[in-house]
Amino acid sequence: MPTIDIHKLLHQFTYIPKQPLIFSSALFLFMFAGFISIFYLLHRKHNVKLLYVVLFSYYFYYKSSGIYFLLLILSTVVDYNLANVMYNAPKGWQRKGLLIFSLVLNLGLLGYFKYTNFLYDIFCTACGTNYSPFSIFLPVGVSFFTFQSLSYTIDIYRGELKPVKRILDYAFFVSFFPQLVAGPIVRARDFIPQISLPTIVTRAMFSEGMFLIISGLFKKAVISDYISANFVDRIFAAPTLYTGLENLFGVYGYALQIYCDFSGYSDMAIGIALLFGYRLCLNFDSPYQSSSITEFWRRWHISLSTWLRDYLYISLGGNRKGRLRTYLNQFITMLLGGLWHGAAFRFIIWGALHGVALGIDKAIKEYLHIPKNRLTKILGVIITFHFVCFCWIFFRADNMQIAGSVISQIGLHFTPEIFLKFIAGYQNVLLVMLMGYTLHFIPKSIELQAQNWVYRMPLIAKVAVMAAVIVIVVQIKSSAIQPFIYFQF
C-alpha cells in the first residue's frame, strides 16, 4: 500500500516561487472545492463570510508572491485611512494634496518594484558604466491592485464615491482573490456596493459561472499552453533558426496564445466570482473581430482601457482642448499603457504604435467617408488583426534583437514553397490554432446558445462536463506549470 509523504504534501501548501497557485492547477481546483463548500455554510453570517474570504485571498496571494502578501495588507491599511481623511478634508489644496500623496504612494510603490532596474539601466547606459541590476522581486499583480486602489481614492476625491465604513469591507474589495493578480481591474463604485448585499447565487449565475470557468480553463490549459510550449516559445527563442513562414505563424500563434491565456484567466475570475454571488466586469469581447484599432481597444482588456480613459486620458484633458491636444492625450495614454505592461523599450514601442494607430483611425473617420458594408468590415478586420499581430512581436520578444529577427525573417526569408511541409510538420499545433481561432470568430449568438445549453443542464451533468474538461487538461498540459502571461504585469 503506497505511503503518503506528509512533509511533501504540506510543502505544496507553502510558497513555491516557480509554482504559483493558478486557477488551472490541480492544487487550486482541490482547494477551491473545499473553500467554496465552507463559504456556502457561512454565507448567512456576513462578517464571518467576509473575513473568511479575505483570509483565503491573503493566502492565495501568499502562494503567488510569498512574504509580499504583507505589502498587500500594508497598502490596504494605508489607502483605507488615507481615503477617510481625504473625504473629511475641506475641498481645495488640502484635499488635492492628499490625492497627490495617494498617487505618489501608490505609483511610487509600483515604480520601485517595476521600474527601478529599468531606470538604473538607462542611467548606466547614459553614464557609460556597467549595469548590474538590483535584486528586486516583482510581486505578482502589483499593477492590478495598485490601479484598483487608485480608482477608490480618485473616485472619493471626485465626489463620486463615499468611503466604506469598515476596513474589512475595503480589504475584501482590494484582495478578492479571483481578480487579485491579473484582473479584471475592478472599480470601487462597481464592486463595493455588492459587498453589503446578502449572498444570492441564482441558477442563472451558477450556470454562467460554470460556463465561464469551463471555457476559461479550456482556453488557458488546452489552447494557450499547448501552442506556447510546442510552437510559439521555440520560434521566439531563436527566430533565425526558422523560416519566415514559421515566424509568421509563430506571431499568429502568440496572438491566439495571449488572448486565450488572458481572456481565459478573466473568464475564470468572473465565473468564480459569480459562484460567490458577485459580478465582475466583462474584460474581453472577441477583440480580433474588430474592424478598427479603436474598436479593438473597446474589446481588449476592457477594464484597463476604460481605467486609462477615465483616470488618465480624461485627466489630461480628453477631447476638450482641441483636435491636436486630443491626439496627443490619446498618444500619451497609450504610451503609458505600454509602460504599465512592462519596464522595457519594447513595451513603450508597443504602446506608441497603438497610440499612433488610434490617432490615424480617428483622423480617417473624421476626414474620409468610407462606406460601411460587409466588404469594408472584412477588410477592416484583416488589417486591424495584422496590425495588432505586428505589435505583438514587440510585446512577446525578450528583447529588441529578437523582435528585429522575427520581422526580418518574415520580410526577407519567407519561403512560401515549404507551406505543405510546414503543415505536415506542425499539424497538431495548426489544428489547435484553427480550433482556437474558430471558437474566437463564432457569432455571439452561438456562444449564448452554448451558455443556455449549460443553463438547462442538471447539476450532475454540469459536474460531469467540468470533470471531462479537467481530464482533457491533465492529458494535454505540459509537465511544468505555465503561469498566466499577465502575472508578470
In terms of Cα–Cα distance, which of 421, 394, 416, 417 is closest to 405? Answer: 394
Integer Cα distance of 469 and 218 in angstroms: 7
Tell me how far the alpha carbon of residue 260 is from its chain's centroid.
Answer: 11
Catalytic residue from among 11, 43, 46, 341: 341
In terms of Cα–Cα distance, which of 383, 406, 376, 410 is closest to 394? Answer: 406
DSSP at 220: I
In terms of Cα–Cα distance, which of 404, 483, 487 is closest to 28? Answer: 483
CA distances from residue 170 to 57, 61, 147, 310, 462 in whole angstroms, order as listed:
13, 16, 14, 22, 34
DSSP at 89: S
Write the single-letter amino acid at 379: L
Long-range contacts of 99-105 (CB under 8 A, 24+ apart): 99/153, 99/154, 99/157, 102/150, 102/153, 103/150, 105/78
Tell me how far the alpha carbon of residue 183 is from its chain's centroid.
Answer: 5
Structure-derived torsion over alpha carbons of residues 187, 193, 198, 200, reported in degrees to the nearest 10: -50
Is the bond preceding 184 in cis, omega lying within 30 degrees of 0? yes
Integer Cα distance of 468 and 140 in angstroms: 30
Integer Cα distance of 449 and 454 in angstroms: 9
Q: Where are the beta strands (DSSP E) in 110-248?
A: none
Active site residue 341: yes
Helix spans in 180-229 (H): 188-195, 203-217, 225-227
End-to-end Cα, the chain, rounded Å: 45
Integer Cα distance of 75 and 326 in angstroms: 34
| C-alpha atoms less than 13 angstroms from C-alpha of 5 in its C-beta half-sphere | 5
Quick check: 161 and 155 in contact, CB under 8 A?
Answer: yes
Q: Return left, alpha or beta for 317; rule: phi > 0 is left, psi -120 to 50 is alpha, else beta.
A: left
CA distances from residue 347 to 15, 338, 354, 388 in whole angstroms, order as listed:
30, 5, 11, 13
Give the catalytic positions in this structure: 341
